[in-house]
Amino acid sequence: NAGVTQTPKFQVLKTGQSMTLQCAQDMNHNSMYWYRQDPGMGLRLIYYSASEGTTDKGEVPNGYNVSRLNKREFSLRLESAAPSQTSVYFCASNIGRGTFSYEQYFGPGTRLTVT
């Protein structure tokens, strides 16, 4: 049982390049999330997916797109990277029964630098 996995672990992009961050979970969770973590700001929600085929914007969605490919996988795409998107990106999942009492499980993160 691997939990939540993310690829790649590190990435350096030049301004304007595109890339996709991959996330997969093997816990049969319904909900999946993408966060970015910046110093002193905690975690900010980029996008959320309550179930396969549905996605919703979080606090900071601009410059990002997501795809919930199936129940296991939730990818985050940067179409035209900007230096402001330099951050650590975390994927998380939750059983997603809407009761709020279940915790989120996090992947190890992707450290992205945009130059």
Which residues contribute to the site for another protein (CB under 8 A)?
4, 31, 40-45, 48, 50, 56, 58, 90, 92, 94, 96, 98, 100-104, 106-109
- Min separation Cβ 50 and another protein, Å: 5
Question: Which residue lies nearer to another protein by CB, 13 or 48?
Answer: 48
- Min separation Cβ 76 and another protein, Å: 15
CA distances from 110 to 11, 23, 73 (A): 7, 10, 16
Q: Dihedral sign for Cα 16, 13, 111, 4, please.
A: positive
Question: Which residue lies nearer to another protein by CB, 17 or 52?
Answer: 52
- Min separation Cβ 73 and another protein, Å: 17
Question: Which residue lies nearer to another protein by CB, 42 or 62?
Answer: 42
Question: Which residue lies nearer to another protein by CB, 17 or 104?
Answer: 104
Q: Would you state the structure tokens that stand for residue 77, as one six-digit string?
A: 């795409």
List, in sequence order, every residue forming a beta bridge with 65; answer none if it has no partner. 77
Hey, which bits of 8-109 come out as E strands? 10-13, 19-25, 31-37, 43-49, 56-57, 64-68, 74-78, 87-94, 105-106
